[in-house]
Amino acid sequence: MKNFERKSDGKLYADGIAINDLAKQYGTPLYIYSQKTLTDNFNGFNKAADGVEHLVCYAVKANSNLAILGLMAKLGAGFDIVSGGELARVVEAGGDPKKVVYSGVAKSVAEIEYALNLGILCFNVESEAELERINEVAKSLNKKAPISVRVNPDVDAGTHPYISTGLKTNKFGVPIERAFLLYKHATTLSNIEIKGIDCHIGSQLTSLQPFSDALDRILLLIDRLEKENIKLHHIDVGGGLGVVYKDEVPPTPEAYMDNFKAKLKGRNLVLVCEPGRAMVANAGVLVAKCEYTKAGEVRDFCIVDTAMNDMIRPSLYSAWMNIEEADRSLTRDEHVYDIVGPICETGDFLGKERNLKVASGDYLVMFGAGAYGFAMSSNYNSRVRAAEVMVKDDKSKIIRDREELKDLWNHEHKFEEL
Ligand SMILES: *Cc1c(COP(=O)(O)O)cnc(C)c1O
């Protein structure tokens, strides 16, 4: 993984610093992010979209740390959000609300008010009822709400069922035929301004075909809308571009953008996209410490201090993530291990049947951990959440302190007789 490479001394480095040293300095579990990779990833997308007017909106839910949002904002990113909380984070980090698109099926009145008052770029409307609500809230604030309809194009993204979102059995978006009617209805609503059209068909896509199929269906809808004199300013193609965890061969951002640019040729539409995973996954690693090794009847266990509450992807999606020794200069016997955490669940594992040379006290590094890692972490089993650091060259900086024990019961109240 770029900027996370092993040097001739056998040690893995995060940019210019040995990961072992970072683990000793900051403790484990530890998330480490590369500022250079984050910067390259954003600039890569942005440059790949050159030639058409565009806005790259980083999908905040992939990793919502303020420092990462702040870096994205500095690079010129817009943001794709799915809650009022994410909008608050964007504002706190210094992001521009005018570059925010707001997706999600359950926007509350309070969230819609908050977004309208900040003047976001667009609401991605996910249902008929939501359009009515946005219109009512906008009316009460004497504002016009900018909207796109999130179309569900009914294409199979060919990805894990839990991260597929563009099938008619999914809760997301509005089917094409109803979307057409919804746009026509939107033109009759006093406080709605039609801005664009949107879709997002799933995550970790490793082929361009589903993106192409979805766009073809949407372009037909755009043509029908034009005949009704409904003109759009932008097309939001969503996120979903996959990354390499093992041996996947996802399209490059260039190929991904070229495909859209070719299809949008001659149409006067601003291209909006919402990459999350492809922006951050390979910009981060998660470091765990081996507490014990334990011989089992059929396989051995490497028991680490890092668990499904820190990184749930293997447990939730059966995701395979690469795990390596931080330091291969150490002399250890090789065994096949299941790498498991301290949590009292059999589903608590980071990897299964991995060949490793490891002993108690050694550090292991999980790759591709920058997306849907810390963002999905919890305090289950009353475990404090991990620390996060950013590195650049030989410098490192903490961007989230490890939680303290008292954080575990913050907001709780002791028992009192009622
Ligand atoms: C999750 C999500 C994204 C980002 O998806 P990635 O696969 O991380 O690129 C973009 N848009 C919407 C609406 C989402 O829900």
Q: How far apart are CA 61 and CA 274, in angstroms?
A: 11
Decide: 287 and 365 in contact? Cβ < 8 Å.
yes
Q: Which helix (H) or strand (E) holds 167?
A: none
The torsion of the CA quartet 92, 105, 253, 314, rounded to 10 degrees, works out to 90
Measured between alpha carbons, how far is 369 from 302 in angstroms, rounded to an integer? 19
Which pair of tokens denotes residue 213?
A: 């199929």
DSSP three-state, residue 21: helix
Is residue 175 a contact partner of residue 168, using CB atoms and an 8 Å limit?
yes
Q: Measure 291 CA to ligand 1 centroid, in angstroms.
A: 35
Structure tokens at 212: 């192409």
The distance in angstroms from the start CA to the end CA of the chain is 57
Could you state, in order of their start, the residue ranges of all structural domains in the chain? 4-33+281-409, 34-279
Angle at 381 between CA 377 and CA 382, to 5 degrees: 80
Is the distance from CB of 350 to CB of 306 less than 8 angstroms?
yes
Q: How far is CA 328 from the centre of its chain?
A: 31
Fold exhibited by the domain 34-279 = TIM Barrel (3.20.20)
CB of residue 274 inside a 6 A radius of ligand 1: yes
Q: Sign of dihedral through CA atoms 275, 242, 356, 37?
A: negative
The predicted structure's pLDDT at residue 297? 86
DSSP 23-35: HHHH-SSEEEEEH
The contacts of residue 265 (CB under 8 Å, 6+ apart) are none
- Any idea what DSSP says for residue 8? T
User: What whole-number distance in Å separates Cα of residue 93 and Cα of residue 50?
Assistant: 26
pLDDT number for residue 114: 98
**Residue 196: both structure tokens together:** 């664009």
Q: Residue 167: its pLDDT value, please?
A: 76
- 3-class state of residue 116 by DSSP: helix
CA of residue 240 to ligand 1 center, whole Å: 6
Distance 362 CA to ligand 1 centre (A): 35
**Whether 33 contacts 284, CB under 8 Å:** yes
Mutation pick for ligand 1 pocket among 203, 204, 206, 256 (CB with most ligand atoms within 8 Å):
203
270-273 and 234-236 beta bridge pairing: parallel
* pLDDT tens for each residue of the chain, 418 residues long: 999 999 999 999 999 999 999 999 999 999 999 999 999 999 999 999 999 999 999 999 999 999 999 999 999 999 999 999 999 999 999 999 999 999 999 999 999 999 999 999 999 999 999 999 999 999 999 999 999 999 999 888 777 777 677 777 788 899 999 999 999 999 999 999 999 999 999 999 999 999 999 999 999 999 999 999 999 999 999 999 999 999 999 999 999 999 999 999 999 999 999 999 999 999 999 999 999 999 988 889 999 999 999 999 999 999 999 999 999 999 999 999 999 999 999 899 999 999 999 999 999 999 999 999 999 999 999 999 999 999 999 999 999 999 999 999 999 999 999 9
Q: Do the domains spanning 4-33+281-409 and 34-279 agree at the CATH topology level?
A: no
Ligand 1 atom nearest 202 alpha carbon: 7
Ligand 1 binding pocket mutation candidate from 55, 274, 279, 317 (most atoms within 8 A of CB): 274
Cβ–Cβ < 8 Å for 375, 15? no
Topology of the domain comprising 4-33+281-409: Lyase, Ornithine Decarboxylase; Chain A, domain 1 (2.40.37)
Strand 300-304 vs strand 334-340: parallel, antiparallel, or unpaired? parallel
Alpha-carbon distance 11 to 13, whole Å?
6
Task: Give the whole-angstrom CA distance, residue 381 versus residue 402.
Answer: 16
Please give the full DSSP string across 50-66, using - where no structure is assigned: TTS-EEEEEEGGG---H
290 noted as active-site residue: no
Pocket lining: 275 vs ligand 1, CB cutoff 6 Å:
yes
pLDDT given at position 189: 98
Cis peptide before 29 (omega within 30 of 0): yes
Q: Nearest 5°: phi and psi at 203?
A: -125, 160
* CA nearest neighbour of 153 among 108, 209, 101: 209
The pLDDT, as a whole number, for residue 185 is 98
pLDDT for 170 equals 83
Please tell me the pTM assigned to this model.
0.97
Q: In Å, what is the CA distance from 293 to each residue of 109, 154, 338?
A: 52, 47, 10
